[in-house]
Structure 1
Amino acid sequence: MAAANSHFPKLFQKLDLGKAGVLKNRVLMGSMHSGLEKGTVFGGQTDLTSMGKFFAARASGGAGLMVTGGVAPNRAGWVSPFAAKLSNTSEMESHKVVTQMTHEAAPDAKIAMQILHSGRYGYHPLAVAPSPVKSPIGWFTPHELSTSEVYKTISDYANCASLAKEAGYDGVEIMGSEGYLINQFLVERTNKRRDEFGGEYENRMRFPVEIVKAVREAVGEDFIIIYRLSMLDLVDQGSDWNEIVLLAKQIEAAGCTIINTGIGWHEARVPTIVTSVPRAAFSWVTEKMMSEVDIPLCTTNRINMPHTAEKILETGQADMVSMARPFLADPEIVNKSEQGRVDEINTCIGCNQACLDHTFKGITASCLVNPEACHEDDLVITPVDPGKKQKIAVVGAGPAGMAFSKTARERGHDVTVFDQAGELGGQFNMAKVIPGKEEFYETIRYFKTMLSKLGVTIKLNTRVEASDLVEQGFDSVIIATGVSPRTPPIPGVDHPKVLSYIDVLRNKAEVGKKVAVIGAGGIGFDVAEFLVHPKSDKTSGDEVDLDEYLKEWGVDKSNEVRSGLLEPKVHPAEREITLLQRKSGKLGAGLGKTTGWVHRANLVKMNVNMIGNVSYDKIDDSGLHISIKDKKDPKKSTKQVLDVDNVILCAGQTPLRELEEPLKAAGVNTWRIGGAEEAGELDAKKAIDMGTRLAARIEDSKPGDVFTMDIGSGAKVIEFFRDFRNKKAGINN
């Protein structure tokens, strides 16, 4: 019998799946839409080599069982136009490269293909559902499946699973949660049918049970079947616990190997995976199911570090732990955990900015903290040719500077980092103090660890001049000096009431009880979030209070109430905040597609007053004088004086580039990255990506070259169908 792992014994315990084989550890790499699961217009072959490279890297990184992004069993099940589908042998042949590359990289790793039918969530006019009930986040009213079409769909699942086995997959995951087609059959919210698949719950659950039976019959006993069971719907008219347990038992009896936990529909009003959600926030849901079935249960959502996973397994909350996005952030997370190199893990911060936000825009996914994720083809990190090794100075130790320094030194360049601050992190040192963004501490810890391990020379508390850099003979200088806050030309802007966001977040300035925040971009929202909550000394995602989160968002921890929804209980805000913007329209419209609603909902709950379409007249002892334009007649406006103690400026930034011209004049190769290149709204995703890409090929590039992510072609396809939908509905963009 193999000795237990000395670091995480439960996590690295094998799991016997009977005839379906043995898993080498208890880690499941959960399914994610990445954009690598390509489809074709007519269902022919497509090149999935990029997808194969992606999974091969995670298999090499130690994952025991991996699940691909969703693949539709038929055309109606597409997530988006021409998305991944597996319904014929030609498409099956495309997938062989994925399984071959995965098994060659790690013969003891297993990979399952997720079968996902989007139902009414499909972003295309062919969408179908149990009933013609349009989704609040969808584009089209779905076609109601006839009874014969339901049976045909069941057989399509079985056919898809059979083809997946032939392609070399070790199993399939049947996506039965998150509000997709199977979920839509289960609840009265979306199932208004009166045939054998509607009405009483026993009829509504017939669809998933028959799917599992048909799949098991098609693939035999030596094949893994994972069923993603929605254990907490978090939408009105969702399933209750007794129904969920009944379905779990029926799924087990139908031949399922593993039940994976699903939490919340995509249209739920409760955030379930963003940064502000506590770690392992829903493992208690899986724990409640542990005594109900005999097959292994997997828990999921916001499990991003090995000690969190180990605690779940140690306390008997689950048999397995699913980590999806953490494998984007660090493909080696399992190996590093097994070897006790936890400080070297590039931790997922749950930001959604490069993964889910990209997916919903039709852009190839990636990761804010790891731009290589899903871009193993176009971002290749290789050692530098010894003859091209450079002595490089990096001025600025923010996200862009740290990312460049880590990658350039990893490749073999000699790197020295200068920063006038006393700590690494730059703007992340302000972001980390925002309630709900405690995970940003992890990114700073990761870069600090790696820069030290790689031998990067770091000179903090050092304001460096161009002449110093010239004298030290650097071959290249990277200007990663970031930005300074922009001061808008408002009369009285120098009044003592006025503070910048840096004064508040970094310099800890005292702020009064009544506050106006000028600027409703990401920084404005962050400042408002910071000010409405009590001061916090949390320095880790581990420290976020689960019970407070559940109360604040109205989640029933006993899971006795149908759908798990309660009335939210919100603490009174610390301050009276007014958030303002010049533009008309919704405040925070430019925030992340999958996280912006959370930030807006948070501030609305805390009674933050949001006003758009304003002009700023002056600031004086009376407060902030504004004019609010009339929505119907822009020439008319209403004047108002906001009686506030402080006015906080979050009105944009200007890049800091004063080193550039003297360095260029001295003949030094000079590059700008991050905020120094493009100030705008601070964008850590772009900064880290830019820094990494420049470092990957600086010796073969010249100043002025563009270093941007390849976003893929999916966005154009989705845009085409968005226009189609809008024209059909008479919507004028």
Structure 2
Amino acid sequence: MKSGFEHLFSPIRIRQVEMKNRIVMPAISTNYAAKDGSVTQRLIDYYEARAKGGAGLIIVECGSVLCPESRINKNQIGLHHDSLIAGLAGLVDALHRHGAKVAFQLSHGGKRATSDITGLQPASPSSIPIRARVPDWPEGEMPRTLSVPEIGEIVKAFGAAAARAKQAGADAVEIHGAHSFLILEFLSPYSNLRDDEYGGTLERRTRFAREIVLDVRQRVGDLPVIFRISADEHVAGGLAIEDTKKIVRILEDAGVDVFNVSSGNHDTPEEVIPPAVYPMGFRVNLSREVKRVVNVPVIASGRINNPGLAEEILSNKDADLIVVGRGLICDPEFPNKAAQGKTDEIRRCIACNQGCIDRYRMFDEDGNGLMTCALNPAVGQENRFSIGRATQARKIMVIGGGPAGMEAAMVAASRGHEVVLLEKGNVLGGQLRLAAITKPDMANVVSYFEKELERLGVDIRLQAEANYTIVDTVKPDVVILATGAIPLIPQIEGIGNDNVVTAWDVLKGRETGEKVIMAGGGIVGCETAEFLALKGKQVTIIEKNPNIAPDLGPIRRSLLRQRLVRYGVTIMTNREIKKINTRFVVADDGREIEMDTLVLALGNQPDTEHTTQLESTLKTGGCPVYKVGDSAHSGNLLHAVHSAFHSALKC
């Protein structure tokens, strides 16, 4: 079957290694390894799912070349000792079984290898700490300056790690020279203030990287050597594309076979891990520029989450290979589905970062990493929570067509159950449709669910209010309540005034006056405030907590705050509204704040108005009932999808 993606699914040969397609899974930290850096079965299962899904090359995450001094994560995979080779070989064998080629990334964290992980003071070319521009993003501790003999030992450590990767059966190695890891710290005038042979001019700043490439090349022979580089750090005085074009020519001459083009450093994390406000393929201009000056393949990256865009980049000769990072976390079968022309079945990453980035440094009580995906609850639990056929087909009724209801219906139908989905509105999607007004990627989630439910044969009944009559007619074996939430309305004097509306009302098209007060600075309140500010409204956010959008990760929260300030939104924290008048509100400090419209965004509560009695009746009759998503308790998209997934697996 022709997919229409001829470039994306054409093979490519690099030295003696031929990859079956141009799709590259990049190194993304998981914290799924053991504390000593050894490979775990969980890590193998995670990567094997992506190999089985059709990725051409998998670059295994951030392997430490020294222990403990180069490590940035508690459960970071290691390449620092010969005792680790057997486990690495087992991982390689598992991925090779599915036709994927495997590279190990060689890394030294530099100033990012902080004492809470290593027990040591971090080291860097110069004693300059990380200068985080993102509020709540950790500032770095002061690193010590590396001596010249120490630099030589680190070069040898990279070479030794590369040799271990080769002994484990790897098809290639990648040298991590991006994102404020040690090599980039040497390359960049932003972090390298040395005046010896490793600092000053561009050639001297490149010396460390060049020596590593030469040593690695000598150790791995004909194995392809990939170099990941931040082509533009996006900081004043940092590495920019014109200098990068000179650096890559030096490194190509030293023996680099492929350049993996990234951007950003630890002080610009939004460039490293772009949230949804970044456009698709936002780094392609950088890969294009690098490709113009080298004679080796170049990898493009940066929110390339659909095969059409990947094909366009390749056909335009802006790159030779394509990174699909979070997209492969979200849907391991991305390559296979694209190759078969089943693009509608790809579950596309929406760059929400709720599961992958915001949680990758969270751990359970046993020390296991909790990195996951908001839309793919099986991440990190691939063998434990695979969707298999149920031993006995049952009739499942799902009440509510928001994200939790759609996920529950999809999983239940995938297991072979007969599924009836009731939705009281005239469309599916629930809060996702409202979210799509300010975050267009959310529309892809709704579209994906709709098409999957149709493909799986789910009986969807719109404008269907759940009651005992319809339940008695369907006679389900199990009922899943996914009725979602309704806005929380506080008991404040004046709350019933005509000029008081909810954020949901506004997103559905309700007009406001010119002066708007947003009661609540959570995610919904801030994004609705931005929506109104873009329409020219004068918006003031009043939030009782010290920070706005506390449930957002630090990168997304910082960018959201920057946009609000840019659009003229006034932010008042540590304040509450105590009284509402027709022309102003009274804050808890007694201040009167003028407004034409008050918009409520104070959170949600489960919508149980029409289901409490039904739930009781069903349980009394012996019918199992599961509550999922906001029907159980208010939460984010990850909560909605994960709770629905796990409940549907029980059916």
TM (norm. structure 1) is 0.84
Coordinate RMSD, CA, aligned: 1.7
SS at match of 1:172: strand
Structure 2 unaligned blocks of 5 or more: 132-137, 364-368
Query: Which residue identity does 1:167 align to in structure 2?
Result: A
**How do 1:267-306 and structure 2 match up within 5 A?**
267-268=267-268, 271=271, 273-306=274-307
Query: Which residue identity does 1:642 align to in structure 2?
Result: I
Structure 1 distance, partners of 2:15, 2:64, is: 28
Cα displacement (A) at 1:139: 4.2
Structure 2 distance, partners of 1:239, 1:467, is: 67
Query: Which residue identity does 2:106 align to in structure 1?
Result: I
Structure 2 distance, partners of 1:253, 1:47, is: 34
Contact 1:498–1:649 (CA under 8 A) maintained in structure 2:
yes
Name the structure 1 match of 2:92: 99
Residue 683, structure 1, aligned to residue 636, structure 2? yes
Residue 647, structure 1, aligned to residue 649, structure 2? no
Contact 1:304–1:323 (CA under 8 A) maintained in structure 2:
yes
**How do 1:461-476 and structure 2 match up within 5 A?**
461-476=463-478
Name the structure 1 match of 2:134: none
Contact 1:129–1:143 (CA under 8 A) maintained in structure 2:
yes
Q: What's the CA shift string for 1:403-462, capped at 9, x where partnerless? A: 11111111111111000111111110111001xx11111111111111111111111111
Q: What's the CA shift string for 1:480-527, capped at 9, x where partnerless? A: 00011110111101111111111111x310122211111111111121
Query: Which residue identity does 1:91 align to in structure 2?
Result: L
Name the structure 1 match of 2:449: 447
Residue 407, structure 1, aligned to residue 403, structure 2? no
Residue 582, structure 1, aligned to residue 544, structure 2? yes
Cα displacement (A) at 1:579: 0.8
Most deviating of 345-354 and 371-380: 371-380
Contact 2:360–2:372 (CA under 8 A) maintained in structure 1:
no
Higher relative contact order structure (alpha carbons within 8 Å, sequence separation ≥ 6): 1
Name the structure 2 match of 1:668: 623
Structure 1 unaligned blocks of 5 or more: 535-573, 628-636, 699-733
Structure 2 distance, partners of 1:118, 1:17, is: 28
Q: What's the CA shift string for 1:574-611, capped at 9, x where partnerless? A: 2211111122x222233223321111111122121111
Structure 2 distance, partners of 1:269, 1:90, is: 34
Cα displacement (A) at 1:468: 2.3
Structure 1 distance, partners of 2:175, 2:39, is: 24
Structure 1 distance, partners of 2:39, 2:130, is: 33
Structure 2 distance, partners of 1:38, 1:67, is: 18
Residue 230, structure 1, aligned to residue 234, structure 2? no
Name the structure 1 match of 2:250: 250
Query: Which residue identity does 2:385 align to in structure 1?
Result: L
Structure 2 distance, partners of 1:666, 1:695, is: 20
Contact 1:428–1:444 (CA under 8 A) maintained in structure 2:
yes
Aligned residues: 630
SS at match of 1:321: strand
SS at match of 1:394: strand
Structure 2 distance, partners of 1:495, 1:178, is: 52
Structure 2 distance, partners of 1:407, 1:620, is: 49
Query: Which residue identity does 1:77 align to in structure 2?
Result: S
Structure 2 distance, partners of 1:292, 1:499, is: 57
Contact 1:25–1:64 (CA under 8 A) maintained in structure 2:
yes
Structure 2 distance, partners of 1:416, 1:695, is: 13
Structure 2 distance, partners of 1:139, 1:264, is: 16
Query: Which residue identity does 2:79 align to in structure 1?
Result: L
Residue identity over aligned pairs, in percent, reads: 29
Q: What's the CA shift string for 1:681-710, capped at 9, x where partnerless? A: x41101101111111223xxxxxxxxxxxx
**How do 1:288-687 and structure 2 match up within 5 A?**
288-361=289-362, 363-386=369-392, 389-434=393-438, 437-505=439-507, 507-534=508-535, 574-583=536-545, 585-627=546-588, 637=589, 639-657=590-608, 658-659=610-611, 660-679=615-634, 682-687=635-640
**How do 1:165-176 and structure 2 match up within 5 A?**
165-176=166-177
Cα displacement (A) at 1:310: 0.8
Name the structure 1 match of 2:106: 115
Contact 2:411–2:649 (CA under 8 A) maintained in structure 1:
yes
Contact 1:133–1:141 (CA under 8 A) maintained in structure 2:
yes
Structure 2 distance, partners of 1:261, 1:17, is: 17
Residue 16, structure 1, aligned to residue 7, structure 2? no
Q: Which runs of 4+ in 1 moved over 3 A?
A: 269-272, 360-363
Query: Which residue identity does 1:407 align to in structure 2?
Result: V
**How do 1:51-200 and structure 2 match up within 5 A?**
51-75=43-67, 76-81=69-74, 83-104=76-97, 106-107=98-99, 109-124=100-115, 125-126=119-120, 127-136=122-131, 137-200=138-201
Cα displacement (A) at 1:673: 0.4
Structure 1 distance, partners of 2:499, 2:72, is: 51
Cα displacement (A) at 1:216: 0.7
Cα displacement (A) at 1:5: 4.6
Cα displacement (A) at 1:242: 3.3
Contact 1:62–1:332 (CA under 8 A) maintained in structure 2:
yes
Cα displacement (A) at 1:299: 0.7
Structure 1 distance, partners of 2:173, 2:180, is: 19
Query: Which residue identity does 2:229 align to in structure 1?
Result: L
SS at match of 1:415: strand
Cα displacement (A) at 1:80: 2.4
Structure 1 distance, partners of 2:315, 2:35, is: 41
The change in CA–CA distance for 1:103 and 1:581 in structure 2 (over 3 A counts) is: same
Cα displacement (A) at 1:6: 4.7
SS at match of 1:383: coil
Structure 2 distance, partners of 1:5, 1:11, is: 12
Name the structure 1 match of 2:135: none
Contact 2:62–2:76 (CA under 8 A) maintained in structure 1:
no
Cα displacement (A) at 1:62: 1.2
Structure 1 distance, partners of 2:294, 2:576, is: 61
